[in-house]
Structure 1
Amino acid sequence: MTHHFSSNLLDVREKLDPSTLPIADCIRIGNQKRERGNFHFQREEYSMAVRAYAMALDVLTTSRDGGDCGVKAEEEEVRDYRVKCLNNLAAAQLKLERYDEALHTSRDVLTLEPNNVKSLFRMGKLQSDMGEYKEAMEVLKRALKLEPATKAIHVELSKLVKRQSGGEDIQEWKAKPAAMLGENIAPFLIPSKKKSSGVSWKFILGALVVALSSLVTSMILTARN
């Protein structure tokens, strides 16, 4: 009975025009749908997550008239939730390999919050992967200026510099990461050789200990007899 009521209520909510609802109701309903999206995302149900986030964004509208402080504060809250929702949507789109859509969604985030580092990083990485090097460099530099200690941004900028200089082809980098090591690949092989010889010595020593213990045991038995 409760489930039937809930599904009917959900249908009614989906048919409602958000502009006719109080902002507080839009926030409440929008967050319910955003949390539903998070639930699906955690279960790796990315298509369903995308749908839930899109529904949340439909409800979380910021086009309201009203000059009092209360309404402005609520509109700030709506904008913050829209940013969260859009970032989550972009992450789900990436999981589905919808790169163009993820790039568009990231731009939407930056329209609302120009200094959102998460979205700047995602947008820069996507542009770099798509070969839009100049645009990617500008975006990633903005992200680095805001968060200079974030290692992921440094790593992505390093990749971008290599791609710009022609030292790393996008497809080759994805298919053959070992090629990046070049002549420096030799030192990486030396420890494994040492390790294998170490294991063989351990095996020989182990066999020797077993042989010696057998010899000692046989000597003791002989002495007793």
Structure 2
Amino acid sequence: METEITNSNSSSFEDLVKDHDVKDSVQNDDFMDILGNNQLTKKILVHGTSDTRPQRYDICKINYEAKLENGEEVENVENFSFQLGDLEVPQGLDMGIGLMNVGEKSEVHCSPRFAYGSLGLPEKNIPEDSKLIYTIELVSTHEETDIEKKSYKSRKEIGNKKRERGNFYFERQEYNSAIQLYRRALEYLDESDGGITSPVENSFIEPTNEQLQDLLEDRIKVYNNMAQSQMKIHAFDAALKSVDMVLTCQPNNVKALFRKSKILEAKTDISSAIPLLRKAANLEPENKSIQNELSRLILKSKREAQSEKNLYQKMLGQAQILDKRKPQCPPSKPDTNTNVRNRLKLWTYTLGSVLIGVAAIAFYRYKYSS
């Protein structure tokens, strides 16, 4: 059973502001400077129950409203549930609620950095670089049930919610946040750890093959999206692992084949990238993007091969020229020790030139004989 701490006397924000006891409120206008840089501040309007602060990953239920600095209201939500510390709300809101007790009502001021940043949120009429003023009431909080004990339906719902939140950050080019959400989504969508059950009354039944296949499709979407995010931050090794997870389950997944080719190109392995694009092109012959990318990589490969060939020929030519050089005539009365040293230097120089030529010829034949 989950233990839930609830504010039983919960009412609207307006009533709380109007009716709360002065003894229960902050006695001055001082704000808590949460980070010490005045970018995120909090002031208690109504005290809650002591020692009932939520912990990370707890499920919190809140009422809140958000206003711009000019007083315009942009959000007003009641009974909103979210998981604390999991990027489901703006960072400033997340951090402020983590410092609240159940039943508490506070005002939290967030600089743009801890709200919606330089992009704002046009769908909610929040302009770019906007400071937000939140009025928040923490209604209740409780620990989340262990993931392994959640039903198939619950895990699918939560996992996809986190995937969609990851997509939100990806579209805003906040790739690290997107990756964090995608990883969390996989924790819910993976059926291998502890199994997934669908509770019916007091018993448990295993999910059907159709349900597990549906869950697999969701996981593949997450891995594909995570690979794209990892590519954006040049984490190519991690991206390769993500895309390989897709191809292990679906070898003909065109999106994964295309992305793996891009990853391999970034790792300068064009020879391995081209066959992947050829396979993708055969699977989707009408896809112009794949055809264009394949043509580009083939041309790039040929240019690199020609460039290397020219380099090897140049190295070989230099080695042959060095080999043909003759030593200068010795002085009429050479010093015996000097002659010995000069001969040793000459033989060392000649031998080195020959070795360079042999190595260049061998490497060229190895690379272009097939």
**TM bracket, shorter-chain basis:** 0.5 to 0.7
Structure 1 residue runs without a partner (length 5+): 170-225
Give the distance between the partners of 2:277 and 2:156, measured in 1 at CA.
32
- 1:24 is aligned with what amino acid? K
- Equivalent residue number for residue 3 of structure 1: 62
2:263 to 126, 131, 149: 126
- 1:12 is aligned with what amino acid? E
1:57 to 183, 186, 189: 186
Scaled by the length of structure 1, the TM-score of the pair is 0.65
* Distance change >3 Å, CA 17–CA 145, structure 1 → 2: farther
CA contact (8 A) 1:125 1:156 kept: no
Determine which structure has the larger strand proportion and give its number. 2
CA contact (8 A) 2:152 2:207 kept: no
Q: Identity of aligned pairs, percent?
A: 35
Give the distance between the partners of 1:8 and 1:39, measured in 2 at CA.
16
Map 1:76-115 to 2 at 5 A: 76-115=213-252
Q: Given the alignment of the two structures, is residue 48 of structure 1 paired with residue 177 of structure 2, yes or no?
A: yes
- 1:83 is aligned with what amino acid? I
Give the distance between the partners of 1:98 and 1:143, measured in 2 at CA.
23
- 1:85 is aligned with what amino acid? V
- Equivalent residue number for residue 202 of structure 1: none
| Deviation by residue 1:60-116 (Cα, 9 ceiling, x = unmatched) | 0132478x8952111111101001111111111122222221122111111122111
SS at match of 1:166: helix
Give the distance between the partners of 2:169 and 2:196, measured in 1 at CA.
34
Q: Which has the larger radius of gyration?
A: 2
Give the distance between the partners of 1:44 and 1:129, measured in 2 at CA.
20
Q: Given the alignment of the two structures, is residue 18 of structure 1 paired with residue 147 of structure 2, yes or no?
A: yes
Give the distance between the partners of 2:231 and 2:253, measured in 1 at CA.
18
1:152 to 248, 273, 289: 289
CA contact (8 A) 1:19 1:61 kept: no
CA contact (8 A) 2:151 2:196 kept: no
Superposition CA RMSD, Å = 2.8
* Distance change >3 Å, CA 17–CA 168, structure 1 → 2: farther
- Equivalent residue number for residue 34 of structure 1: 163
Give the distance between the partners of 1:12 and 1:159, measured in 2 at CA.
53
Give the distance between the partners of 1:119 and 1:97, measured in 2 at CA.
17
| Deviation by residue 1:20-51 (Cα, 9 ceiling, x = unmatched) | 22111110110111111111112222111110
How much has 1:137 moved relative to structure 2?
2.0
CA contact (8 A) 1:140 1:157 kept: yes
SS at match of 2:303: coil
- 2:272 is aligned with what amino acid? E
Give the distance between the partners of 2:212 and 2:206, measured in 1 at CA.
10
How much has 1:53 moved relative to structure 2?
0.6
1:117 to 254, 260, 267: 254
SS at match of 2:276: helix
| Deviation by residue 1:107-162 (Cα, 9 ceiling, x = unmatched) | 11111221110110010122123222332122111111110111121222122212
* Distance change >3 Å, CA 168–CA 159, structure 1 → 2: farther
Determine which structure has the larger helix proportion and give its number. 1
- Equivalent residue number for residue 193 of structure 1: none
Q: What number of residue pairs does the alignment pair up? A: 167
- Equivalent residue number for residue 178 of structure 1: none
- 2:81 is aligned with what amino acid? S
- 2:238 is aligned with what amino acid? E
Give the distance between the partners of 1:121 and 1:31, measured in 2 at CA.
24
